[in-house]
Amino acid sequence: MEKKPLIYFLCTGNSCRSQIADGFLNALGSDKYEVKSAGLEAHGLNPRAVQVMQEAGVDISKNTSDVIDPDILNRADYVITLCGHADEHCPVISNKNVTKWHWGFDDPAKATGTEEEIMNQFRTVRDSIKNRIEQFVKEGK
C-alpha cells in the first residue's frame, strides 16, 4: 500500500484552528492523507471548537492538544500553519522535501461579545477552514 502524505497542521495552542483543520481533513480526506496537528504549546481542546465541529457533523472530542513533535515535523510532507504566530515561530524543519504553507485564520478563542457572538466567530472560522480543506482535497494540494 502506498504511503499517504502526512499533513501536519500547526497553530499556537493546538486548541481551535489546527483542531478544526485536523477534524475536517480526517473527515474529508483520511483515505488520501495521514493527518496530525500540534501547537507551539498545548492549550487543551477548546470546548467551543468541539461544539461547532459537532454542528458540522465532525467529532473532534477525542482529539488531544499536543506540542509539536520534531519527528513528525521532519517526516511531514506538508506543514501548514494556521496562525501568524505559529508561522513565525515554527521550529526549523530539516526535511528539505516538505511543502510549508501558511493559511492564516483569525483566532476564534479571542472573540469577545455575547456567547452567541463568540460562537458565530467560531462558526465563521470553522467554515473558512472547511472551505480551504475542501479545496486542498479537491486539488490534491
Residues with catalytic annotation?
11, 83, 90
Cβ count within 10 A of residue 115 = 8
Strands of 95-136 (E only): list them. Answer: 99-102
3-state SS, 75-101, equals HCCEEEECCHHHHHHCCCCCCCCCEEE
Distance CA 72, CA 83 (A): 19
Cβ count within 10 A of residue 74 = 15
